[in-house]
Amino acid sequence: MAFLIVLAALCFLMYVAYRGHSVILFAPVAALGAVLLTDPTLVAPMFTGLFMDKMVGFLKLYFPVFLLGAIFGKLIELSGFSKSIVAATIRLLGRERAMLSIVAVCALLTYGGVSLFVVVFAVYPFAAELFRQSDIPKRLIPGTIALGAFTFTMDALPGTPQIQNIIPTSFFGTDTWAAPWLGVIGGVFILIVGLSYLNWRRRAALKAGEGYGENLLNEPAPFEGGKLAHPLLAILPLVLVGVANKCFSVWLPQAYGKQHSFDPAVIGDAAPVVQDVSKIAAIWAVEGALLIGIAAVIVFAWKPVMTRFAEGSKAAIGGALLAAMNTASEYGFGAVIAALPGFLVVANALGAIPNPLVNEAVTVTALAGITGSASGGMSIALAAMADTFIANANAAGIPMEVLHRVAAMASGGMDTLPHNGAVITLLAVTGLSHRQAYKDVFAITLIKTAAVFVVIGVFYATGLV
Dump pLDDT digits (tens) for 239-254. Answer: 888 788 878 888 988 8
Local confidence band at 186 (pLDDT 50, 70, 90 cut-offs) = very high
In this prediction, residue 225 carries a pLDDT of 62
In this prediction, residue 112 carries a pLDDT of 67
Residue 404 above 90 pLDDT? Answer: yes
Residue 223 above 80 pLDDT? Answer: no
Q: 190 or 249: which carries more pLDDT confidence?
A: 190
Nearest to 435 by CA among 128, 127, 17, 135: 17
Residue 282 above 90 pLDDT? Answer: no
Residue 457 above 70 pLDDT? Answer: yes
In this prediction, residue 226 carries a pLDDT of 66
DSSP three-state, residue 276 = strand
Query: Distance from CA of residue 92 to its chain's centroid?
Result: 29
**What value does the mean pLDDT take over residues 341-350?**
81
Residue 351 above 80 pLDDT? Answer: no
Element (H, E) at 161: none
Q: 330 or 181: which carries more pLDDT confidence?
A: 181
Local confidence band at 224 (pLDDT 50, 70, 90 cut-offs) = low
**Rg of the chain, C-alpha, whole Å:** 22
CA separation for the pair 105, 127 (Å, rounded): 10
DSSP three-state, residue 170 = helix
**What value does the mean pLDDT take over residues 36-51?**
94
Percent of the chain as helix, strand, coil, to the nearest 5? 80, 0, 20
From 12-26, 185-199, 265-279, 376-390, the region with the lowest mean pLDDT? 265-279
Task: Produce one character per residue of 269-296: b if its CB has 16 or more CB atoms within 10 Å, e if not.
Answer: eeeeeeeebeeebbebbbbbbbbbbbeb
Q: 445 or 315: which carries more pLDDT confidence?
A: 445
Query: Distance from CA of residue 329 to its chain's centroid?
Result: 15
Highest averaged pLDDT of the listed ranges 20-29, 410-419, 446-455 = 446-455
β-bridge mates for residue 261, sequence order:
274
Residue 398 above 70 pLDDT? Answer: yes
Local confidence band at 312 (pLDDT 50, 70, 90 cut-offs) = confident
The pLDDT tens digits of the residues spanning 97-129 come to 889 989 988 888 788 667 777 788 888 988 998
CA separation for the pair 465, 459 (Å, rounded): 7
Residue 399 above 70 pLDDT? Answer: yes
Residue 268 above 70 pLDDT? Answer: no
Contacts of 216 (CB under 8 A, 6+ apart): 138, 431, 432
Task: Produce one character per residue of 158-184: b if its CB has 16 or more CB atoms within 10 Å, e if not.
Answer: bebbbbbbbbbeebbebebebbebbbe
Q: 465 or 383: which carries more pLDDT confidence?
A: 465
**What value does the mean pLDDT take over residues 224-229?**
73
In this prediction, residue 43 carries a pLDDT of 94
**What value does the mean pLDDT take over residues 344-359?**
84
Helices (H) and strands (E) in the chain, counts: 20, 2
In this prediction, residue 123 carries a pLDDT of 86
Q: Which residue type does 154 have?
A: M
Highest averaged pLDDT of the listed ranges 163-167, 270-274, 452-456 = 452-456
In this prediction, residue 229 carries a pLDDT of 86
pLDDT mean across residues, the chain:
88
Task: Give CA separation, 375 vs 51, 129, 378, in Å.
Answer: 18, 32, 5
Local confidence band at 58 (pLDDT 50, 70, 90 cut-offs) = confident
**What value does the mean pLDDT take over residues 60-84?**
85
Highest averaged pLDDT of the listed ranges 59-63, 206-210, 365-369 = 206-210
Highest averaged pLDDT of the listed ranges 42-51, 100-109, 115-124, 413-422 = 42-51
Local confidence band at 384 (pLDDT 50, 70, 90 cut-offs) = confident
209, with CB counted inside 10 A (0-12, 13-18, 19+), is exposed
In this prediction, residue 266 carries a pLDDT of 67
Give the dihedral of Cα atoms 457, 460, 463, 465; nearest 10 deg. 50
Residue 419 above 80 pLDDT? Answer: yes
Residue 269 above 90 pLDDT? Answer: no
